[in-house]
């Protein structure tokens, strides 16, 4: 069985679907602090899926899972991921993202499970020194969230050296879109991502979308980011796990489309998909936002044989379908 931590969340749930559809039995481990039991229930409909509620900060919880099931490998998503919150409450991020992962790795070693795919982030790179960003770019995070992910990357290297625990570390950029069948999707109580916030400005009355700065050194003055579709990302996690099984070799890969879209381009695509005008206001820049941030994914394409297939327009279309489903649920209608 494959253990997927954090599979009640956004990227984890889409990756779980990919594994299930490819004949894998999975165990979901999630504390449901930011994940949702409704997502778990959807995943259970699709195949052999077990759910264990627990917290990685409690070693007994995760040891219980390894004692109960025969785990072949781990896909690790469970983490807090709000940059702003990590600045104001770094203790929360180090205790959960770092100490929680330490417990997971110790449980893996104790139960002789030696394969893990880790959900890392381009935030480990910090301010870009050049673009596109490849895996050799210096890692110098500028916030506790990025620091916590980089700490785990160092831990994985050390656990490989000491215990032979092999890992694939996947550093991805901006994630977008939802399951094409609207079974799972992006569902955050505090939403910080661009596309769902644009869509919320449509789905929620009297909400105006804000563009933070239009005077950057880019063609249209707004920040450029690399938006990779979540279903493409899910495929990359399974390919990374297969690579780990076949080669028993630790490695790191960037995941992105290798092309950037500006905030205005994303906004205009949203208007095209929705076929309506969206209320927008341009305000001052946010501190720490680089003008351009996009990936060099050559290594993933060459070694993992992965490439993103879905367009930005496809990502926005599926995200909008999911947003409408969430709004119906919030209005008291049955989850379907």
What gap in Å lies between CA 306 and CA 225, rounded to an integer? 20
Token duo for residue 20: 């299930």
Residue 321's SS3 state is helix
Residue 250's SS3 state is coil
What gap in Å lies between CA 53 and CA 41, rounded to an integer? 13
Token duo for residue 90: 């770094």
CA torsion 203-206-207-213 (nearest 10°) is 130
β-partners of residue 172 are: 121, 255
| Nearest alpha carbon to residue 104 among 71, 132, 129 | 71
Q: Summarize the chain as % helix, strand, coil (round to 5).
A: 45, 20, 40
Residue 323's SS3 state is helix
Token duo for residue 261: 């879209």
| Nearest alpha carbon to residue 107 among 79, 68, 139 | 68
> Is beta strand 261-262 parallel, antiparallel or unpaired with respect to 224-225?
antiparallel
Residue where the block lists tokens 């956004």: 10
Task: State the catalytic residue, choosing from 10, 145, 172, 241.
Answer: 145
Exposure class string for 298-326: b at 16+ Cβ within 10 A, else e: ebbeeebebebebebebbbbbbbbbbebb
Residue 96's SS3 state is helix
Q: Is-catalytic flag, 159?
A: no
Burial of 134 (0-12, 13-18, 19+ CB in 10 A): middle
Residues with active-site annotation: 145
């Amino acid at each position: 069985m494959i253990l997927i931590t954090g599979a009640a969340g956004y990227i984890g749930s889409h990756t779980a679907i990919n594994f299930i559809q490819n004949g894998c039995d999975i165990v979901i481990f999630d504390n449901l602090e930011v994940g949702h039991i409704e997502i778990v229930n959807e995943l259970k409909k699709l195949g052999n899926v077990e759910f264990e509620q627990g917290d990685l900060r409690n070693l007994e919880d995760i040891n219980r899972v390894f004692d109960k099931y025969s785990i072949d490998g781990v896909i690790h998503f469970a983490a807090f991921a709000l940059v702003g919150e990590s600045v104001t409450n770094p203790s929360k991020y180090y205790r959960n993202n770092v100490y929680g992962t330490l417990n997971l790795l110790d449980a893996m070693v104790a139960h002789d499970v030696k394969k893990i795919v880790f959900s890392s982030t381009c935030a480990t790179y910090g301010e870009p020194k050049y673009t596109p960003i490849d895996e050799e770019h210096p890692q110098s995070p500028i916030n506790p969230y990025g620091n916590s992910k980089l700490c785990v990357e160092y831990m994985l290297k050390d656990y490989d050296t000491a215990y032979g625990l092999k890992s694939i570390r996947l550093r991805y950029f901006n994630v977008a879109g939802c399951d094409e069948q609207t079974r799972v999707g992006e569902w955050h109580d505090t939403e910080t991502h661009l596309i769902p916030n644009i869509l919320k400005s449509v789905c929620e009355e009297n909400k105006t979308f804000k563009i933070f700065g239009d005077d950057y050194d880019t063609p249209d003055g707004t920040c450029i980011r690399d938006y990779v579709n979540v279903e493409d990302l899910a495929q990359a996690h399974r390919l990374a796990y297969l690579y780990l099984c076949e080669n028993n070799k630790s490695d790191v890969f960037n995941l992105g489309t290798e092309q950037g879209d500006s905030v205005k381009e994303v906004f205009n695509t949203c208007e095209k998909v929705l076929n309506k005008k969206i209320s927008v206001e341009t305000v001052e820049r946010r501190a720490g936002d680089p003008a351009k941030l996009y990936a060099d994914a050559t290594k993933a394409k060459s070694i993992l044989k992965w490439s993103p297939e879905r367009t930005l327009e496809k990502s926005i279309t599926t995200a909008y379908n999911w947003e409408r489903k969430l709004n119906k649920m919030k209005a008291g209608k049955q989850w379907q």
